[in-house]
Amino acid sequence: MKCRKCDAKAVINMRQHRLALCRDHFIEWIVESTARFIEKYDMFTLDDRVLVAVSGGKDSLALWDVLYKLGYHADGLYINLGIDGGFGYSKTSLQKIEQFMSTRSDLHLEVVDVPAVYGAPVNVAAEATSHGAGKPCSICGLTKRHIMNRVAREGGYDVVATGHNLDDEAAVLLGNTLRWQIGYLTRQGPVLPASEDGLVRKVKPFCRFYERETAAYSLLSGIDYVEDECPYAVGARTIYHKEILNQMEEHSRGAKLQFYLTFLQAKEQGIFQAADDSVELTPCSKCGQPTTAAGYCAFCRLWDKVRED
């Protein structure tokens, strides 16, 4: 199969777009489409300071690479969760990020070491509290959100960007829809606006790319990334939802993209407006970050408990 734009051999065929492209034109397509999505959803401008959450995986490194190419002022944030999983997951992740940075000039990385700063790896914290019931994911998510917001506020960043792709977003959407979690559905989308109470704007510039596209971008761009998933991702409900969506995609090309885009349209048309449950946030009396709780926020209560044990 030939590239749609030149005579070279196509390396990828995106059936949902009826678009086959060669290496160079595919890389160009990803970069240009990202720029278009950033503009379309009003994510940020060239004047903004962007903090990219990088895990060492294909999506976040590809995102950082694209923003770098587009000339955005994008710094990285790596949160060391202290997860080993028998193969040094967190350690390998940081190595891949450092390797990525060594071949690009003027990149800046903030590193937050969870065990050093807060007293324990997230999986140990999960065992020490009833919160996780064995799985560290809810504690891990809470901790990552807290740290991203703290670092962004302290560093004067305008926006936090994450590498979530369409497969991630469609899986979360399916989960939220199956349980009609209106609060989550109301907040899901390419942009989570900043709140006056101190939540920094969050954006997902890759939310319209299939996972195979971000993986292909990384491979074709020579980005070396951590291929192993976090050991705790195994058996996660989102993985099950991804499998269901993959089956749907096999039967009907573009099903995932359509599911996500029609959701965004429905939201724009006001389907969840009446249910908008925006809540009042107040500053946590310990760390000062916005919380719905009175007194200490969930993050501070959790990590205080971990340190007590």
Residues forming the site for ligand Q46 (CB under 6 A): 122, 136-137, 140-141, 230, 232-233
CB closer to ligand Q46 out of 33 and 218: 218
CA distances from 58 to 111, 112, 139, 229, 264 (A): 18, 20, 23, 11, 25
What is the DSSP-derived secondary structure letter of residue 52? Answer: E
The pairing of beta strand 12-14 with beta strand 19-21: antiparallel
Told to check if 300 binds Zn ion by CB under 5 A, we report yes
What is the DSSP-derived secondary structure letter of residue 199?
A: P
Measured from the CB atom, the residue of 9 and 237 that comes closer to ligand Q46 is 237
Minimum distance of ligand Q46 from residue 238's CB (angstroms) = 9
- For residue 230, the partner it binds in Zn ion, ligand Q46, none, with Cβ less than 5 to 8 A by kind, is ligand Q46
Which one, of 129, 162, 127, 209, lies nearest residue 52 by Cα? 162
Give least dist CB 168 to ligand Q46, A: 9
CB of 191 to ligand Q46, least distance (A): 20
What gap in Å lies between CA 25 and CA 11, rounded to an integer? 10
Tell which residue, 204, 211, 229, has the closest CA to residue 167.
Answer: 211
The smaller minimum CB distance to Zn ion, of residues 24 and 127, is found at 24
Exposure of 122 in the CB half-sphere (CA atoms within 13 A): 28
Residue 141 binds what, of ligand Q46, Zn ion, none (CB under 5 to 8 Å, by partner type)?
ligand Q46
With CB cut-offs between 5 and 8 Å by kind, which of Zn ion, ligand Q46, none does residue 287 bind? Zn ion
Quick check: 3 binds Zn ion (CB under 5 A)? yes
Give me the least distance between CB of 134 and ligand Q46, in Å please: 11
Q: Select 122 or 306, whichever has its Cβ closest to ligand Q46.
A: 122
Give the Cα separation of 76 and 61 in Å (integer). 9
CB of 26 to ligand Q46, least distance (A): 27
**Binds 233: which of Zn ion, ligand Q46, none (CB < 5-8 Å by kind):** ligand Q46
CB-CB contact of 277 with 182 (8 Å): yes
Tell me which of 20, 22, 63, 147 binds Zn ion, using CB under 5 A.
22
Residue 231 contacts residue 98 (beta carbons within 8 Å): no
81, amino acid identity: L
Closest separation between CB of residue 32 and Zn ion, Å?
A: 13
